[in-house]
Structure 1
Amino acid sequence: MQVDFYHLTTPLDRVLPRIAERVVQTGGRLLIVAEPEAQRVALDRLLWSYAPESFLPHAHIGAGNDAAQPVLIASDVTTANAARNVAIVDGRWRDAALDFERVFHVFDEEAIREARLAWKTLGDRDGVERRYWRQNDAGRWEQAA
């Protein structure tokens, strides 16, 4: 299993839609996890409006046929849409994410301490590949570890 740590220096709005698009384009499903309700509402709006020419089917957990949703927004880790990819976007690591094939752990400066602890803890686990991504001066993602 793979855990990708994404250290944000730009708004989440510029990162998450691209991750979701790539997962869905390859036939995968994605669970997006954010505990604060206001953040989940904002994510829903973002996925509808991030680009005029785009359409990324998604829903909030419990809003209707969860199992049919390619992208599902939830407050905690769940397998309701049979996703094998999970994006934790509120900066709070959850060990339940280790049941997925790929984890996108997205965090900003406010959550860096917790992200470092998760990085260290996961380094001691068998079968977990960790990668750390940061943005360069041009805003492009580079693998740093």
Structure 2
Amino acid sequence: MTEVLFYHLQRRTLEQVLPPLLAKCLERGWRVVVQAASAERVAALDAHLWTYDDESFLPHGPAGDRDAADQPILLTTAPTNPNGASVRFLVDGAELDDPAAYAPYARAVFLFDGNDDEAVASARGRWTALKAAGHEVTYWRQDEAGRWERKG
């Protein structure tokens, strides 16, 4: 079954947290798909990943580009997996409708805004459904120093 990680963002924004997590995936040789809830968010993430750090580069591109299947990191709004990713990030409330849709992935990562009551409630609902479907679920929260701690 797919390992599903829930990252509770409270001290840092998605734009601060996502690039290092993507870099770790690439270091491990994993292809990634990042699913956002809107085309505007995909465009914003695309622009951010080009400029977030002058010393780093994350090879990526949006779905719909002619070389989308070749991208190590693919940004999309769709539940598809054209680049054969083994890790799927879901941000801003994006989700896969059916717990069985997680099967192609070794890991799925939900990043949710812990300061948004609706996002927290949605994450709790997803946790319950995915755990009931047999997925291994873990919850991660940042400590005061900004390090991620596994809480559940």
Query: Scaled by the length of structure 1, what TM-score is found?
Result: 0.93
SS in 2 for 1:54: coil
Cα distance, 1:124 vs. partner?
1.2
Cα distance in 1 for partners of 2:72, 2:78 equals 17
> Which amino acid counterpart does residue 103 of structure 1 have in structure 2?
A
The one of 114, 117, 122 equivalent to 1:114 is 122
How far apart are residue 98 of structure 1 and its match? 4.0
The answer to whether structure 1 residue 135 and structure 2 residue 142 are counterparts is yes
| Deviation for aligned residue 1:21 | 0.6
- 1:51 paired residue number: 53
Supply the AA of the counterpart residue of 1:13: E
Structure 1: gaps of 5 or more residues: none
Q: Deviations over 1:49-93 (max 9, x none)?
A: 111111111100011211110000000221100001000011233
How many Å separate the matches in 2 of 1:116 and 1:39?
A: 23
Question: Which residue is equivalent to 1:38?
Answer: 40
Asked if the contact 1:32/1:71 (under 8 Å) is kept, the reply is yes
Distance 1:49 1:98 in 2: 33
Residues 18-33 of structure 1 aligned to structure 2 (within 5 Å): 18-33=20-35
The runs of 4+ residues in structure 1 deviating greater than 4 Å are none
TM-score, normalising length: structure 2: 0.89
Q: What is the CA RMSD across the aligned residues, in angstroms?
A: 1.2
Match of 2:109 in 1: 104
Q: Secondary structure at the match of 1:79?
A: coil
Q: Any conservation in 2 of the 1:93–1:115 contact (CA below 8 Å)?
A: no
Cα drift, residue 106 of structure 1: 0.7
Quick one: which amino acid aligns to residue 41 of structure 1? A
Identity %: 38
